[in-house]
Amino acid sequence: MNSNPHSRASRLRIGIVGGGIGGVALAVGLARHPDLDVHLFEAAERFSEIGAGVSFGPNAVRAISLLGLEAAYRGIADASPAPFEDVWFEWRRGQNEAYLTATLAPGCGQSSVHRADFLAAIVAHLPEGIAHFGKRCRIVEQDAEGVSVSFEDGSTFRGDILIGYDGIKSAVREHVLPVANYGEFGPRWSGTQAYRGLVPVERLCRAMRETGCDERLALVPQMYLGPDRHILTFPVKQGTLINVVAFVTDRSSDEPQLPEGAPWVSEVDQQTMLDDFPGWGAASRAILGCIDHPTRWALHELPELPRYVRERVVIVGDAAHAMLPHQGAGAGQALEDAYVLASLLGDASCDRGNVASVLSAFEAVRHARTCRVQATSREAGDIYEYAGEGIGDDEIHLAAGLERRFDWLWNHDPRDDVAAARRRLDWVDRHSA
C-alpha cells in the first residue's frame, strides 16, 4: 500500500502494526465504526500464532466479551472439567504431588484456548480489505498532520494514528522511546527456560494410572512447585490435549545472560528435560515422560517502560509490557488494551485534532496497571519456585497467599479505564459512540 491522502469521508485513518491476538481484536473492534478507516499490517504472509495453550483469567474473558468476540471464544474455549469448573489451578508439591491449595476463579476457572485456534476465530470477524501481509515495519515518522510508516517491501502508509501491537521485538517501540533519548529498552532474558509440549489426554491419563497417580491430575489444571522449578498442565483443543510447560530458573545472577547467539526457542531431547527435574515426584515424571519432542523457550520480558505514547503513536500489548507467563496475564492485558483503545477511538468525540490527547489519556489509565501486572507476574514465578520474598519454602504461607493473590488482577473491569479516560478528556457528558 502506497502513501494515500486522507479520505475525508473517514473521521480517522488508523494503522495497526502487528496481526497477533491483540492487534486483530483491536482491528475488529474499530472496524465496527463505519467512520473509521482501519488498516492492519502483519509482517508474515498470513495470520499465525506461535506457542500452544494460552490461559485467560476472568478479566480477559470480560474484555473478549466487551469486544463482541465472546461467541467466537466460547466456541473453542476449554474449561476445567466438572465438578472443578471454578478451579484455575490446584497447587501441589513437585516432589510428591502433595496437595497445597487451589486458586478458584468463580464462573471462569482455567479458561484456555489454543493460540492459533483463537486467532483464527477472531480473524473470521475481520472485514475484507483491512489486513495487509508481508508488511514489516521499518521506519515510523510523524508530523503535526499525521504519521507515516515505511515497510521493508517499499510500501508506505500515512494516517492519523499508528498503534504498535508488534510484540516484544517491536519496531514501533523505537519511535516511541528513541534510544538516543531514553537508552535501551529491549527484551531481557528472565533467567527462566520453559520446556513445552502438548500431550494427548488419553496418554497422560494412562501414564498417571501406570504410576499410581489419580487421573484427576491429568484432567484438572495443576501446578507443581519446587525450588527453582515448576510445572503446569491445563487442557486445550476441547480437552483432547494437555498443554504442559515445565520451568527451570537460574537465579545465580541478578542479570542473567543467554549465551551469545543462543536461540530463544530450540528443540531438545526428552532426557535433557528430565535431567532438569531430578528428585521430582511420580506425577511430574509421568507428565514429562509423555513429551517426546519438547521445545525449550528462553523466557524474555520487557522492563517497565516510562511511556507508551509519543503524540500520534502508541505501543500496546507485548510491544509495551511484555511479561512473564506466570499469571497467564499477557494476552489479557493485550485484550484490555484493545477494548479501551477501541472504545476511545470509536467515540465520535475523538477526531484528528485531539488524537494525541486521546492517546495520552489511554496511557494515563493503563500504564500503572500494566506495569503492576508485569511486576507481579515476575514475583509469581519466584513464589512458585520457593523464592518469593518473605515466603521462600514456607508452604503454609505460600498456599494462603495463592488463594487470593489474583483477585485484584481478575476483578478489574476495563470499562472503568474507559470512564477514567473520558473524565480526563472532559467527555463525561457525552455518550460513547
What's the CATH code of the domain at 229? 3.30.9.30
Angle in degrees, CA 50, 54, 59, rounded to 5: 135
The CA distance from 195 to 383, in Å, is 19
Euclidean distance between CA atoms 179 and 340, whole angstroms? 28
Is residue 134 located within the same domain as residue 220? no
- pTM (whole model) above 0.85: yes
Last residue of a domain, one of 269, 286, 301: 301
Q: Considering the candidates 11, 13, 196, 229, report the single residue annotated as catalytic.
A: 196
Q: Residue 6: what pLDDT?
A: 39
Tell whether 366 and 290 lie within a shared domain: no
223 Cβ partners below 8 Å, 6+ apart? 89, 90, 91, 92, 230, 231, 232, 384
Last residue of a domain, one of 301, 327, 349: 301
Contacts within 8 Å (CB) and 24+ apart, 357-361: 357/425, 358/421, 358/425, 359/161, 359/309, 359/311, 359/312, 359/313, 359/314, 360/309, 361/421, 361/422, 361/424, 361/425
pLDDT of residue 54: 84
pLDDT for 286: 97
Is 175 among the domain residues? Answer: yes
Per the DSSP assignment, residues forming a β-bridge with 38 are: 14
Euclidean distance between CA atoms 13 and 154, whole angstroms: 20
Task: Give me the average pLDDT of each 10-residue run along the chain (433 residues).
Answer: 49 97 97 97 87 85 96 88 92 97 92 88 95 96 96 97 97 97 94 97 97 95 98 91 96 91 95 97 97 97 98 98 97 97 97 97 98 98 97 96 96 98 85 42
Q: Is residue 94 part of a domain?
A: no
For residues 377 and 416, state if they share a domain.
yes
Same-domain check for residues 284 and 139:
no
DSSP 46: S
- Which backbone phi and psi does 138 adopt, to 5 degrees? -115, -50
pLDDT at position 80 is 82
Q: Are residues 383 and 318 in the same domain?
A: yes
Please indicate whether residue 307 is annotated as part of the active site: no
Residues 310 and 282 in one domain: no
Q: At 157, which CATH number?
A: 3.50.50.60
Asked if residue 165 belongs to a domain, the reply is yes
Judged by DSSP in three states, 159 sits in strand
> 243 pairs with which residues across the strands?
198, 234
- Supply the pLDDT for residue 113: 87
C-alpha cell at 75: 466456541
- SS3 annotation, 228-248: CEEEEEEEECCCCEEEEEEEE
Assess whether 62 and 171 both reside in one domain. Answer: yes
269 found inside a domain: yes
Residue numbers of the domain that contains 314: 12-80+111-186+303-424
Q: Cα separation of 408 and 146, whole Å?
A: 38
Of the candidates 160, 170, 142, the residue with the CA atom closest to the CA atom of residue 23 = 170
* 194 shares a domain with 181: no
SS3 60: helix
- Asked if 44 and 19 touch (Cβ cutoff 8 Å), the reply is yes
Give the Cα separation of 60 and 84 in Å (integer): 20
| Alpha carbons within 13 A on the beta-carbon side of 320 | 32
How far is residue 394's CA from residue 397's CA, in Å, rounded to a whole number?
6
What integer pLDDT is reported at residue 260 of this predicted model? 87
333 belongs to a structural domain = yes
473478549: which residue's cell? 64
CA–CA separation, 19 and 40 (whole Å): 7
Question: Is 1 inside any structural domain?
Answer: no
Which residues are within 8 A (CB) of 369 and not within 5 positions of it... i.e. 6 or more apart? Answer: 333, 336, 412, 417
Choosing from 301, 329, 346, the residue where a domain stops is 301
C-alpha cell belonging to residue 416: 472503568
197 and 141 co-located in one domain: no
Q: Are residues 214 and 175 in the same domain?
A: no
Residue 362 lies in a domain: yes
Write phi, then psi, for 199 (nearest 5 degrees). -120, 130
Q: How far apart are CA 392 and CA 394, in angstroms?
A: 6
Is residue 168 a part of any domain in this protein? yes
Indicate whether 134 and 261 sit together in one domain. no
Quick one: 284 and 411 in the same domain? Answer: no
**C-alpha torsion angle, residues 57, 60, 64, 65 (rounded to 10):** 70
Counted domains in the chain: 2
